[in-house]
Structure 1
C-alpha cells in the first residue's frame, strides 16, 4: 500500500449521534453533512472528497458533490460518492488512500452520513413504468388508452428495509443464527453492551469527544449513551428478533439502534498532514483488508472473522500485539462471534487460511471510549466515526503502538485497518 507514499489518517469531526426520529430528525442526509464538512473546511482545503450514505434518495445521485457545494467548498474540488453498507465511510478512506500520491493529491476529506429519520418512500417499478408511459402518450386518445392499462395492484409503495436483499433476513435475524451457532450467552452479550455504555459515558465526561463532535442546533452530545444502564435492566429486555422460539438472545439493549448522524476524517500524505493544524491527532496506516464471504452459508456479519487473521498474519502479529481494538458493535453477539473465531485455531486455519497461532484476545483493550451499541450506528457515518475515535486514542499512546479497526457490513463483507502511532 505504501509503494507510492505513506498514508496517514487525521481525526475529523462528526455530529452528535441520536436515535431515529429523535432530536436530529429534522435534518436530511445533506443537512446533517453540511455542518460537518464546513467544520472540516475551516481546517484545510482538501484535494478531493469522498462521501457516502447507504439509504437511497431520489433527490441526489452524487451526494458528495452536493454536500461540498452546499458547504461552500471551492467548486474545483472533485468529489465522489461511495457505498458499502456499514463500511461505507471506511471503504471511502481506503479508496482515498489509493488515490493519495504525493503529487498533488495529498489531502482527502472523507466521511458519510445516515438520516434514518428521513427515508424516502417510492413507488413500485411497475407503477413508475405506467406513469412514464402516461407522460409519453402524445394525444388525448393515446392517454385514454394508456389509462385503461392501469393495474391497481401496481400501486404499491416501496419502503427501504433494514434487510438483506439476497436472503430476505435482517441483520439482527442473521446474527441470531450466528449467536446460536457459536453458543453465545445472553449474559455475555449484555456485558458487552453495558461496558460500551459505561465507556462512552466516561469518555464524554472526561472531555474525550469535545474536539471530535460539533453541535447541531441544541444537540451538543450523543443522546444514546445511558449513565443509568445496568446489567439488571439489560437482562429484563425481551428478544428483538427471535420472539418465537424462546431462544432469542439479541435485544434492543445489546443491538445497535437505528441512528441519525454524519462523520468525517482526513486521509493524507505527509505533505497533506502539514496543511492541517498541528494539534490534529494523526496516525499512520500500516495495512488494510477488505473481505467478502458467502453470506448464504456463512454468518452475514462474519467477514472480519476471516479478514483480521489475514491482516495480522501479513505483518507477523498476534492478537496480543495490538494495543487498541476498535470493533464496530452492530450487535454484541457479532463482536463475541468474531472474538470466538479469532481465538479458535481450527477456524483461523480452515476458514481464514492462516496457520499462525494468534493467541488470546485482550478484551480489556477493546473500544475503550465506547462503541456503536452506546454511541449509535448511522450506517454511512460509522466508519469515519470509529476511525477518528481510534486515531485520537492511538495518537495519545506511546510511539509504535498499534490499533486494529474492524467493521462488518451487510452483504457478507467487511473492512479492517491496521494503524500505528508512528
Structure 2
C-alpha cells in the first residue's frame, strides 16, 4: 500500500465574524492559501478537497483553485461533514493516495460566516431525535460526563494562556499565510483579563447550565490546508515529509452529544492500531467548547501536557469547515519542535453527533 504524508501545512489568519475578513467570500479566503501551497508543484496536483459548512454552496474548492490560478486540470471537490469537514478532506486525500488514485492533493477547509447567505444553521437531526443547537448540546455533554463550570473555566483559562504564550513566542507565524496584508489572528489584537471574564460569565444556553461565552469558542472566518503526497513522490520532488498518515476512524453518537463524538472515534482508532493513550505524544482536539475537551480528557485520562499544547479555538476561533485542517497544521509544526515525538492524533466532533479522528506517525529525520 502506498503511504500518504503531509509535506506542507498552512492557514490564514483567523478573523472574527464581521471582522477583518467580513467582505471576503470563501473562495477569496482560500485562494491565497492554495496559491502558496501549490507554488512550484502546480502540475503535480491531482485534486483539491475543501470542507465548507455555511455556504454559499456550489463547488467552492473548484472556484478557489481557479481563483488561485491553479492549472485548469485541477478539478476541486467541496464536502460537508459539518465541523469535521476540514479533517475529513485531509483524511480522504490520504486514502486516495493509499488507493493509488493520485500522488498529490491539496486538502483542508474554509469558512466565512461573515458572508454566508444563510441566516440560520442547517438541521443536524430530525425532530423525533431532537436537534439542539451546539451550545445546548455542549451543556448536555457537561451533564452526561459530570463536567462542572469550574472544570470548564479551568481548561479555558489554560488554553487562553497557552494561545497567548504561543503567539508571543511567534509560534503561529510559521503557520500563517497573509491575506490582504493581514498576518495575525484577530483575537490577538488585545489581551484580556480572562480570569475575571470567566468569573463574571453567566450560562447562556440553559438557565442553570455551566457553558458560558467565556468557556466557548466564537464565530470566525478562516481557511487552512495541507499538501498530501505519496511518500516516494514527495522525496523525488525534494520535500521532507513530516507526518505520515497511519489510520483514521469516524464515529456516530447521539446528536445531543456531538462534543463526545471524538471519544469513540479515538478509542476505536487506537485499539485497532494497538496503541495506548500513553503512546500518543500529542493530541489536537478542537476546542469548540471547554466541556467537550474536559470530557474527552477525562474519559481517556489524557494529560493536559500533551493536549492542545498551544491553545486552540477557545482563543483564536472556530471557522467550522477549516478547523479540522487547523488541527493538522498545528501538529505539523509542533512535532518539528520536538525531538522524540512519534505519534499524534487530530480529532473533532461535529453537529449531528459525528466524530473524526486521524492518527499520524511522525516521520523520522
Q: CA deviation at 1:400?
A: 5.5
User: Which residues in structure 2 correspond to 1:28-47 (within 5 Å)?
Assistant: 28-45=25-42, 46-47=45-46
Q: State the match for 1:141 in structure 2.
A: none
Give the secondary structure class of the aligned counterpart of 1:11: strand
Q: State the match for 1:135 in structure 2.
A: none
2:179 is the alignment partner of 1:182: no
2:75 is the alignment partner of 1:74: no
Change in 2 beyond 3 A, CA 1:179/1:220:
same
Residue deviations 1:61-81, cap 9 Å, x none?
111111111111000123211
Give the secondary structure class of the aligned counterpart of 1:393: helix
Give the secondary structure class of the aligned counterpart of 1:288: strand
Count of aligned pairs between the two proteins: 357
- Which structure has the greater CA radius of gyration? 1
Distance in 1 separating the partners of 2:198 and 2:78:
38
RMSD, aligned CA: 2.0
Change in 2 beyond 3 A, CA 1:62/1:321:
same
User: Which residues in structure 2 correspond to 1:228-267 (within 5 Å)?
Assistant: 228-242=192-206, 244=207, 247-267=208-228
CA contact (8 A) 2:124 2:352 kept: yes
Structure 2 counterpart of 1:374, from 315, 322, 345: 315
- Greater mean deviation of Cα atoms: 220-229 or 5-14: 220-229
CA contact (8 A) 1:325 1:405 kept: yes
2:73 is the alignment partner of 1:109: no
CA contact (8 A) 2:12 2:29 kept: yes
User: Which residues in structure 2 correspond to 1:390-405 (within 5 Å)?
Assistant: 390-399=331-340, 401-405=342-346
CA contact (8 A) 2:51 2:88 kept: no
Structure 2 counterpart of 1:416, from 342, 354, 357: 357
2:330 is the alignment partner of 1:389: yes
Distance in 2 separating the partners of 1:312 and 1:27:
40
Q: CA deviation at 1:116?
A: 0.7
TM-score, normalised to structure 2, is 0.92
Residue deviations 1:176-234, cap 9 Å, x none?
12212222111211121112121122222222222210222242211124633432321
Q: CA deviation at 1:44?
A: 2.4
Change in 2 beyond 3 A, CA 1:275/1:55:
farther
2:270 is the alignment partner of 1:312: yes
CA contact (8 A) 1:192 1:332 kept: yes
User: Which residues in structure 2 correspond to 1:13-412 (within 5 Å)?
Assistant: 13-45=10-42, 46-58=45-57, 61-101=58-98, 105-121=102-118, 159-161=119-121, 164-166=124-126, 167-225=130-188, 227-242=191-206, 244=207, 247-274=208-235, 278=239, 282-295=242-255, 299-342=257-300, 360-399=301-340, 401-412=342-353
Distance in 1 separating the partners of 2:233 and 2:50:
19
Distance in 2 separating the partners of 1:299 and 1:104:
35
Give the secondary structure class of the aligned counterpart of 2:349: strand
CA contact (8 A) 1:17 1:259 kept: yes
5+ residue gaps, structure 1, are 122-158, 343-359
CA contact (8 A) 2:324 2:347 kept: no
Residue deviations 1:219-270, cap 9 Å, x none?
221112463343232111121211x3xx221111111111101111111111
Distance in 2 separating the partners of 1:14 and 1:51:
13
Change in 2 beyond 3 A, CA 1:389/1:11:
farther
Residue deviations 1:253-291, cap 9 Å, x none?
11111110111111111134236664x662111211111
Residue deviations 1:62-108, cap 9 Å, x none?
11111111111000123211110011011111111111158672111
Distance in 2 separating the partners of 1:330 and 1:101:
31
Give the secondary structure class of the aligned counterpart of 1:255: coil
5+ residue gaps, structure 2, are none
